[in-house]
Amino acid sequence: MRVTLGRATTNNYTTDDPSVSNSHAYIEFDDTHIFIHDTNSANGTFVNNIQIIKKEIDLTNQIKLGNHLVDNKLLNQIIHQQKVALQTDFTKEFQELEPVYNQYIKNLNKIDTSEKNRLILIRLVITAVLMLLVFLVFGKPSYMIFVGLVATMLTNFLIKPSNVREKKEDIQLNLSDDFVCPKCKTSLANKSWKYWKKNGSCPNSKCNATWQ
């Protein structure tokens, strides 16, 4: 894999520093090693202030193209992007999405459960208060049972779950931001993690990411 550096905008890493040649150097890398090669630049390539033609580097080294000090953070990003672009097996990255997905499902279920409990509590309190009032006014336990039944039916009918949908939509929105193809970031939130696991590849036809 290769990253080119120079003043020409066709390079992967570019700078408009006049001491940098159009095609100044290139970096060759695999998973473990990074080499920098000078490509006959006018003002030379330097690693820790020593001029080099070809040298193994790591991204803690000070790299200079002519007078230009290379932004190692940016260079690292460019290298990483290239690695991702060439990578097709995203099994490890996909596996890492499972806990993320599960947490969202848990949160969705939690909303249902807590809303259900809240409704039960409200209905119980209203029914109990009504029963107590009837007992205090009429003093007849048989009225209480009748009122209790009516109140239960009425509160079931009148008190409905509130803002559950909004809360769920918020969670689903966040899920579609986080549960995405590790390569192209296409959202996978319309189906379950298990579905995509079985499917084994990204739904985006322009993306070649796969996972087992």
**Exactly one of 127, 131, 202, 211 binds Zn ion (CB under 5 A); which one?**
202
Choice between 14 and 204, CB closer to Zn ion: 204
Q: Which one of the spans 1-9, 18-26, 27-35, 178-186 is the region binding Zn ion (CB under 5 A)?
A: 178-186
Q: How far is the CB of 72 from Zn ion (least distance, A)?
A: 28
Q: How far is the CB of 31 from Zn ion (least distance, A)?
A: 21
Q: How far is the CB of 201 from Zn ion (least distance, A)?
A: 8
Choice between 73 and 206, CB closer to Zn ion: 206
**Exactly one of 36, 183, 188, 196 binds Zn ion (CB under 5 A); which one?**
183
Q: Which long-range contacts (CB under 8 A, 24 or more apart) does 208-212 make?
A: 208/88, 208/183, 209/87, 209/88, 209/90, 209/181, 209/182, 209/183, 209/184, 210/88, 210/89, 210/90, 210/91, 211/89, 211/90, 211/91, 211/93, 211/94, 211/95, 212/91
Q: How far is the CB of 179 from Zn ion (least distance, A)?
A: 12
Is residue 189 close enough to count as binding Zn ion by CB under 5 A? no
Is residue 180 close enough to count as binding Zn ion by CB under 5 A? no
Is residue 204 close enough to count as binding Zn ion by CB under 5 A? yes
Choice between 85 and 145, CB closer to Zn ion: 85
Burial bucket for residue 211 (CB in 10 Å: 0-12, 13-18, 19+):
buried
Buried b (16+ CB within 10 A) or exposed e, 50-66: eebeebebeeebebbbb
Instruction: Report the distance separating Cα 69 and Cα 3, nearest Å.
Output: 17
| Residues in touch with Zn ion (CB under 5 A) | 181, 183-184, 186, 202, 204, 207, 209
